[in-house]
Amino acid sequence: MSKREALLGEIDAVDEVLFARCSGAYPDVTSAEVRFLTLRSAAELLRAEIPREARARSHVSGAEKAAKEMVKELQAALQHGIDVGVASNTKYTRQIGRGATPHVTAKGMEPRVRTAKILSGRMYERMAEARVIQPEVRPLPTLDIVELYKLPGRRRQDSLSEQDFCRSIEASYAQAKHCASHLRYGLRASNARETAARSALRALELEVLAAREALRECRRAVVAEAVRVGETQLLPRAEKHGGREDEVEQGARRRLREVLKQCNELGRAADVPPEDEDGAGWDLLMA
């Protein structure tokens, strides 16, 4: 800390004592003080928002990892269906020797599907935690993974045939890929929001410095005038304005909402949906 900053700090401490119970006799000082306190409070609130965004992004990142692992498990289940000939409908014609009963299909797919269901639960759990912290995180699209009691070969009326079970896994695989893409874009949006918040914080801190300097100038003018006219008491002693704290808090939160709105808009702009060949985005994929 330089000597100038140390001296300014001492002067500010003296000013806080002299102007602690400022009445309406000096409206310029009151206005400058309210502006400075409002900007400083808004900067403190915005500074607290940045770690919150980082915490939410860590949960989204965990959900993305679970989604990637889930895609691999479903892909492995599909590959088993291809290997035994279910996908090509050749299991009981050309590949008779490679598992002639539905139990072979179920035995190969069951562990993969079970793991995929566990990972899907983990993914939704992480996303729920992220949305509690940051409401701007978009909810996950639909993901349906077939129940294990519908495995082919089970003695249940609602068990699926091998072909229907493979088709169900194919649909789940496509939905899981969509979820992974959704989370990847969600991470990009979170990074954009944090970058915008940091940039806004730097700009707000410059405004705080300017407001502090303006407040100092107003107080110096009052002190200089008091010295010039020979006043023995700088300011009339009066009770502190009870509404000033409310005004500062409301102004700070209003400014914070404005900044966060801009950050959220930049985040949505970065969260561009992937388009298919027909130009359809999230709306069609989530329908």
Structure-model confidence comparison of residues 208 and 4, the more confident one: 208
pLDDT of 285 higher than 60: no
pLDDT > 70 fraction of the chain, expressed in percent and rounded: 70
Residue 14 above 50 pLDDT?
Answer: yes
Interhelix angle for 102-133 vs 27-83, to 10°? 180
Task: Give me the chain's average pLDDT, please.
Answer: 78
Q: Which residues are within 8 A (CB) of 148 and not within 5 positions of it... i.e. 6 or more apart?
A: 110, 113, 114, 117
Least confident span in 86-90, 108-112, 279-283: 279-283
Question: Given this model, what pLDDT does residue 111 score?
Answer: 87
Residue 203 has pLDDT above 90, yes or no: yes
Q: Is the pLDDT of residue 274 over 80?
A: no
* Residue 163 CB burial class (10 angstroms; 0-12, 13-18, ≥19): middle
Q: What is the pLDDT of residues 46-57, one digit of tens each?
A: 999 899 999 999
Residue pair 194/134 in contact (Cβ under 8 Å)? The answer is: no
Residue 231 above 60 pLDDT?
Answer: no
Report the pLDDT value the prediction gives residue 277, as an integer from 0 to 100.
36
Highest mean pLDDT among 74-83, 208-217, 272-281: 208-217
Domain boundaries along the sequence of the chain = 20-285
Query: From CA 68, how far away is CA 181, in angstroms rounded?
Result: 9
Q: What is the mean pLDDT of residues 265-287?
A: 55
Phi, psi at residue 237, to the nearest 5°?
A: -80, 120
Question: Which pLDDT belongs to residue 129?
Answer: 94
3-state secondary structure of 218: helix
Is the pLDDT reported for residue 262 higher than 90?
A: no
With cut-offs at 50, 70 and 90, classify the pLDDT of residue 21.
low
Judge whether residue 88 has pLDDT over 70.
no
Mean pLDDT of 153-171: 77
d(CA 221, CA 213): 12
pLDDT in the model for residue 238: 45
Distances (CA, A) of 16 to 10, 216, 258: 10, 11, 30
Contact indicator for 152, 238 with CB cutoff of 8 Å: no
Q: What is the DSSP string of 88-104?
A: TT-TTTT-TTS--SHHH
Q: What is the pLDDT of residue 109?
A: 80
In degrees and rounded to multiples of 5, residue 147 shows phi and psi of -75, 145
The residue with greater pLDDT, 105 or 138, is 138
Confidence of residue 191 (pLDDT cuts 50, 70, 90): very high
Length of the chain: 287
Torsion of CA 255, 261, 267, 269, to 10 degrees: -130
Rounded average pLDDT over 151-162 = 72
